[in-house]
Chain A
Amino acid sequence: MKDRKYLIAPSILAILLVAALVWGYNQYQTKKQREIALENYYQSLFFDIKKHIENIQVNLSKVMVANTKERNILLLSQISNEAISAHTKLGQMPLTHAEIANTEKFLNQAADYSTYLIQKHLQGEELTEEQRQALSNIQNNSVKFNEELTNIQNSLAEGNFFLGSLTASARNRVKEANENILQTSLVQLDEQFAKTPELIYDGPFADQMINRKPVGLPENEVTAEEARKIAAEFLGNVNIINIEQFEEGEHINEARIPAYTFNVYVDKQRNSPIYMGVSKKGGKVVWMNNPRPVGTTKLSVKNAEERALKFLQEKGFENMEPNYYLKYDGTILFNFVNTENKVTIYPDLVKVKVALDTGEIVGFDASAYYLNHHDRKIDEPHLTEAEARSKVRQDFNIDSIRLAIIPKGKNEVLCYEFKGKYNGSDFIVYINALDGSEEEILQLIKNENGTLTF
């Protein structure tokens, strides 16, 4: 009996030890499986990227040889596809943004530029000498890119490093073994891309588009003190307790719309401030937002719209026309656009948010308006309404027709706007009023809360 008692403690310990070993072994196996799965995923991304870059390189040389627009359009659309795929996959590799920012930009703009050239071809234009030069720059870059990728591939083949080991936790372990071949060579490449000349074209990712500055603000500069007064005045008849300015950085003047930003504390809502931005140039309220909780809905859409229109008139926005609305979180957000001589000007957009409990204006955003608004010389349409109608599908059921100016890249175009239904869904079709081309098609998604355009 005595002997057996003596055995209890060691046997429990032995069982615990076995259990711990089993648990540990399982953990180790799971970790290993996951590492392998991750490594496999990164490897497939890597080889895919290499293939995409090769295809871009080859297709670009074909564009240089090709002699017809039709052939070019096919090749350019393939280049665009390959560049987008490479860009998407590169964004999933375990690399920091700082290491690949310019590489991503190169791929994105290569795709964007190809699309731009396709549009030029479709309008019947040939490639210009500058455009051929730009394409050859893109090709040089893709050759360099491919060379670096081949280097990395060779290192991978020698089996002395793993892509997966670049993730944060494993980084330190690997450091002494190899100096992160993937990173060093891609960083060098990224620096080279940064040096290539800017692509001049019109597309959503063009540098000129990103660095756009507002054209709708008056020229005079206002001080922070003046801006405070403007902010207080804008809120009208409320009891202001305190206005606090946000801390500024030294480069605030390089923001898209350089502005003073304020927290405005008012009497009736002491804990949640109203936020406002007042432009430094011209001293205009660019946006205002009051995120106070909203009570039970008491206003109809019609009532809210009247309030919003009255508010816009008080703030000096004349001829504004309500377009769409969206109800959310007890508020309703209206999109108002400017009209001139019965032409709807979509780029001059002002958003107004009305609280549906008291009808108070709880949001205002005129940043689009101030970015785009300028004195326009609106052309007389070259096409009649009937001529434009003949460019739209005959079985498209039209509810309304009007003239509108819509944005097209950096520019604006005058169009006939056809609103209607096709196959039970709502669409807007825009036909260029000067040359009759089909500029844009929007689908409207309507539900009980409002309308979204896609």
Chain B
Amino acid sequence: MLFLSVLLFYEPKSIKKTAERYESMFAPRTLYWGVQGEDVRILQDKLLRWGYYDGAVDGIFGARTYRAVRKFQAKNGLQVDGIVGPATARALGMPEAYATAANSTVNRQTDEYLLARLIHGEARGEPYVGKVAVAAVVLNRVKHPSFPNTIAGVIYQPLAFTAVADGQINLTPNKDSIKAARDALNGWDPTYGCLYYWNPATATSKWIWSRKVMLKIGKHWFGI
């Protein structure tokens, strides 16, 4: 009996958390009581200027923000629920991520963020140029026939990056990693076209040493 009841109520692992995190990464967020961030700051700023909000612009969605959103929704004929979904965001004129017009959904943000996560997982201890170099290798691979043709394809190619294999890619990237991703996407390639890099202290594959070695940036050797 005990055995059965434990079996019935035991749930191996909650995947809800991960789903939530992915949503906040890739989709424009829905704002509600309790969330924090730059987007909340923008929301508060707008509500403050239009006289719905009288609290601090601190990026935290609290009671005052909630009441202000409800007031705004009531005034503008929206569903009064205190939640900033797509309709309310549009009425507020929230920035690009919320806009649904056909051409403004094309942007580089997903590439940027994915690349920043890889940099953070693979090279967060490296000097700045070493971070950009790792991102440049990904972009050089995208353009090379022997590799997948998209950034995600290259990054998630099985056994290509250790940070992807051990899950470190899912850490939240810091400011430097995001900045490095942008510099790489804007064309800076400190590796002069390299396709591989390895850390001589930890590289186990014999094959990688048969590559043509170009230069050393931080702890990594780069080559083709």
- Residues of chain A at the chain B interface (Cβ within 8 Å): 15, 18-19, 22-23, 26-27, 29-30, 84, 87-88, 91-98, 101-102, 104-105, 108-109, 112, 167-168, 204-205, 210, 246-252, 254-259, 261, 263, 272-273, 275, 277, 287, 289, 291, 326, 328-329, 333, 351, 363, 365, 367-368, 424-425, 443, 445, 447, 452, 454
Which residue of A19, A104, A250 has the most chain B CB atoms within 10 A of its CB atom?
A: A104
Q: Is the interface of A mostly helix, strand, loop or mixed?
A: mixed
Residue B49 CB within 8 A of the other chain: no
Q: How far is the CA of A55 from the CA of B147 in the complex (A)?
A: 22
Residues of B with C-beta under 8 A to A112: 145
Residues of B with C-beta under 8 A to A258: 192
Are A98 and B158 in touch, CB under 8 angstroms?
no
Partner of A251 from the list B160, B179, B214 (CB cut-off 8 Å) is: B214
> Nearest Cβ distance between residue A145 and chain B, in whole angstroms?
16
Are B148 and A91 in touch, CB under 8 angstroms?
yes
Nearest first, the 7 closest Cβ-Cβ pairs linking A and B are A249-B213, A256-B193, A251-B212, A255-B192, A247-B216, A108-B145, A205-B145
Q: Given A246-B216, A363-B183, list of 5 further CB < 8 A pairs?
A: A18-B2, A105-B146, A249-B213, A251-B224, A454-B106
Are A329 and B212 in touch, CB under 8 angstroms?
no
Q: How far is the CA of A367 from the CA of B128 in the complex (A)?
A: 20
Nearest opposing residue in chain B for A272, CB measure: B128
Q: How far is the CA of A165 from the CA of B96 in the complex (A)?
A: 44
9-residue interface stretch from B6-14, B21-29, B70-78, B85-93? B6-14
Partner of A26 from the list B10, B104, B179, B212 (CB cut-off 8 Å) is: B10
Are A168 and B159 in touch, CB under 8 angstroms?
yes
Instruction: Give the size of the chain B interface in residues (CB under 8 angstroms).
Output: 56
A-contact 0/1 string along B178-219, CB 8 Å cutoff = 010011001111111110000000000101000011111100
- Residues of chain B at the chain A interface (Cβ within 8 Å): 2-3, 6-7, 10, 12-13, 96, 102-104, 106-108, 127-129, 132, 143-149, 153, 156-160, 165, 179, 182-183, 186-194, 205, 207, 212-217, 221-224
> Nearest Cβ distance between residue B205 and chain A, in whole angstroms?
7
Given A261-B190, A328-B182; A246-B215 close (CB under 8 Å): yes
Partner of B159 from the list A96, A255, A328 (CB cut-off 8 Å) is: A96
Partner of B153 from the list A88, A259, A329 (CB cut-off 8 Å) is: A88
Are B144 and A255 in touch, CB under 8 angstroms?
no
Residues of A with C-beta under 8 A to B207: 98
Residues of A with C-beta under 8 A to B193: 255-257
Given A251-B214, A252-B215, A445-B107; A365-B188 close (CB under 8 Å): yes
Are A252 and B2 in touch, CB under 8 angstroms?
no
Nearest opposing residue in chain B for A101, CB measure: B146
Selected A-B contacts with CB under 8 Å, 29 pairs: A22-B7, A22-B10, A29-B12, A91-B148, A91-B157, A92-B158, A96-B158, A96-B159, A105-B146, A204-B143, A205-B145, A210-B145, A247-B216, A249-B222, A251-B212, A255-B193, A256-B192, A261-B215, A273-B127, A287-B190, A289-B183, A289-B188, A365-B187, A425-B102, A443-B103, A443-B106, A445-B107, A452-B107, A452-B108
Are A368 and B205 in touch, CB under 8 angstroms?
no
Nearest opposing residue in chain B for A291, CB measure: B128
Nearest opposing residue in chain A for B186, CB measure: A333
Partner of B215 from the list A18, A98, A249 (CB cut-off 8 Å) is: A249
Are A248 and B215 in touch, CB under 8 angstroms?
yes
Q: How far is the CA of A398 from the CA of B128 in the complex (A)?
A: 43
Q: How far is the CA of A96 from the CA of B159 in the complex (A)?
A: 6
Nearest opposing residue in chain B for A249, CB measure: B213
Q: How far is the CA of A152 from the CA of B183 in the complex (A)?
A: 44
Given A210-B145, A249-B223, A443-B103; A97-B190 close (CB under 8 Å): no
Given A249-B221, A452-B108; A255-B214 close (CB under 8 Å): yes
